[in-house]
Chain A
């Protein structure tokens, strides 16, 4: 299991050929209290970098981009009722969606934990 990060503050946790995607703890701390999440439909496919979800905090709305190309195989339906889970546990229970990775080669373009830490420093 390896976790990758994007410059737009999404994380990608890879297990086999499925990636769990969400926003980082740093992202949630910048957004503030999350009040609404719009998740994609299961079965939808996205190209890397396409708008896949929306997260809204008290302050503002932000796009969440698909960090990797592939098909959405599961979404975190619990977020509809408890969007605050993203603030409490962004990189755990606050995950957004699981994507079946279309091209593992794309992972090479993402950051590892150390690079992401430097990116947000």
Chain B
């Protein structure tokens, strides 16, 4: 199977660990990544929703934006993203998007304000693997004097997700149990520094843990020693985030979609909506006021057949069927025990329960617009 495509693959610090645990490895965003382990996507998905799944997300980009004062750092970031960064409290984390001048999305990312004494001017930023080189270039090119970007390639990132994640991590780091959603705690375990945030991308309670790459395999072994934990691959990560109604960059959001079209209005706080001052503000403020022409919605096909990415969506208007949108992510939701999808439709058809028709493999498949998430969010609040 070794082809020229795989020769340039990069490896996370857990590559050998995945193989030792029976992973099926596939190329993803330039990395050799585990798509599943022995039990398969379905079981790994259900295990995460019932217990705790351990994910390697070390392929994602981890970097720091640094100045001598939070206000300086925050203002520099606010010139690139539409979220309120200035009002982040020390230790608080927020989801946002890097925007292009026309309001299209260059990437989505997590931004955390440091709570380390003496590091108050530092933001910790996590970006997508497939976009990270372009993101770093974009960020570095737009930072003002006195604000710098520091890329850290020596960090690993793992996620522990599921209703038992708190019990598992709390057994070795007690402070993790009561850590607030979207904040982080800095812990030291047997001399290893752990940056633990209460966040994730499955819709479940859980953590994302950043630590030095050289320690990550032994830390994963320690988590896996708890029988509530199983390793989970990218396949289940995709079905979990799809059921949770969360966007996958390059599929549900990209440079052609605005955050408002993507139904990410909630991620733009009030001050920024009013003041603007981010790339594409004119378009985004117009869409906030008048509504976007299309909107990302959930799509629930009838029956059992999944409708995949690229499936065209039709609806009847004035007695005539016409194309009103397209599916951007679709598959089978093991928890929903049904096919689930999301995509963009013209705004007039975005209301939940609107009947639509999907063209799947040349056949018409009845479906409806559905409220998301397909599996309820169970974050720690």
Contact = CB atoms under 8 A, between A and B. Distances in A.
B40 interface: yes
A33 B304 contact: no
B235 A58 contact: yes
B214 to A, nearest CB: 33
A35 B304 contact: yes
Interface in B42-70: 42-43, 45
B41 A58 contact: yes
Contacts of B45: 58
Contacts of B332: 35-36, 56, 58
Interface of B is mostly: mixed
Interface string A72-88: 00000000100100000
Contacts of A61: 306, 308, 361
B304 A32 contact: no
Contacts of A50: none
Interface residues of B, number: 18
Interface residues of A, number: 13
Contact of A32 (B40, B305, B306, B308): B40
Contacts of A38: 305
A59 interface: yes
Given A32-B36, A32-B41, A58 B239 contact: yes
A56 B41 contact: no
B235 A32 contact: yes
A90 B40 CA distance: 16
A54 interface: yes
Interface in A14-73: 32-33, 35-36, 38, 54, 56, 58-61
Nearest to A35: B332
Contacts of B305: 36, 38, 56
Nearest to A87: B40
Contacts of A59: 35, 41, 235, 331
Contacts of B361: 54, 61
A61 B331 CA distance: 10
Nearest to A80: B304
Given A32-B40, A33-B40, A58 B334 contact: yes
Contacts of A56: 305-306, 332
A80 B303 CA distance: 10
A32 B26 CA distance: 14
Interface in B198-257: 235, 239
Nearest to B308: A61
Given A56-B332, A58-B239, A58-B332, A35 B306 contact: yes
A36 B42 CA distance: 13
Interface of A: 32-33, 35-36, 38, 54, 56, 58-61, 80, 83
13 contacts: A32-B42, A32-B235, A33-B41, A35-B42, A35-B304, A35-B332, A36-B306, A56-B305, A58-B41, A59-B35, A59-B41, A80-B304, A83-B304
Q: 7 tightest A-B contacts by CB?
A: A33-B42, A35-B332, A58-B41, A36-B304, A36-B305, A58-B332, A32-B40
